[in-house]
């Protein structure tokens, strides 16, 4: 497992970790969900398997109430069987070449997830690399958007989680995020 820590401000830090997000010891983990909030593969499937039925039932209630979550937005549910109290589900954009508003939508995923975290008293949060799996967002571009957005959110000087982790599944993704962090 690789780990790289950078302090953003005296009050908050970012951690890049190569590992399994379902094992994160944080208040909330973020799920790269689809707009329908129906279980899928990748990160979503892993989180749902580890978290159990409580997450699926909470997603079903959200689907009944509002039909899902729009791209760039986020909703929050219980963490079920996970050690995290909450799962924040966000629907990232599908990569269409970068000219269909993808960077803005991806940044919104991170901002909205952090907003929900603050509203729910979350002090520690773990993100995956949103939209870089089946949605095809180039990892190096996604990493730059993710890290810049988180840094900007924390720099506003308003409440924010004190520890923001990016838990990245493989070497390639971890390296892309490490490179992007050095560019901040």
Nearest to 124 by CA among 18, 46, 25: 25
Alpha helices (H) along 4-52: 42-51
From 20, 44, 171, 179, active-site residue: 44
> What is the token pair recorded at 57?
């039932």
Cα(11)–Cα(90) distance, rounded to whole angstroms? 25
Tell me what percent of the chain is helix, strand and coil, each rounded to the nearest 5. 40, 20, 40
Alpha helices (H) along the chain: 42-51, 53-66, 102-119, 139-155, 171-183
Residue 166 belongs to what H/E stretch?
A: strand 163-168
Q: Has 53 been annotated as catalytic? A: no
Cα(106)–Cα(115) distance, rounded to whole angstroms? 14
Q: Which active-site residues does the annotation give?
A: 44
């Amino acid at each position: 497992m690789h780990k790289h820590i950078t302090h953003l401000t005296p009050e908050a830090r970012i951690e890049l970790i190569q590992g399994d997000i379902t094992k994160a010891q944080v208040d909330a983990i973020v799920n790269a969900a689809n707009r329908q909030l129906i279980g899928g593969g990748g990160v979503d499937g892993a989180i749902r398997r580890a978290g159990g039925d409580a997450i699926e039932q909470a997603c079903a209630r959200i689907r009944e109430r509002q039909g899902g979550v729009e791209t760039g937005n986020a909703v929050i549910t219980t963490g079920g069987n996970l050690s995290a109290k909450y799962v924040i589900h966000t629907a990232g954009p599908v990569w269409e070449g970068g000219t269909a508003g993808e960077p803005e939508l991806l940044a919104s995923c991170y901002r909205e997830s952090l907003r929900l975290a603050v509203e729910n008293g979350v002090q520690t949060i773990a993100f995956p690399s949103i939209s870089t799996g089946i949605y095809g967002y180039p990892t190096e571009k996604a990493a730059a958007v993710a890290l810049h957005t988180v840094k900007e959110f924390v720099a506003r000087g308003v409440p924010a989680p004190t520890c923001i982790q990016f838990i990245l599944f493989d070497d390639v993704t971890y390296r892309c995020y490490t490179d992007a962090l050095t560019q901040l």
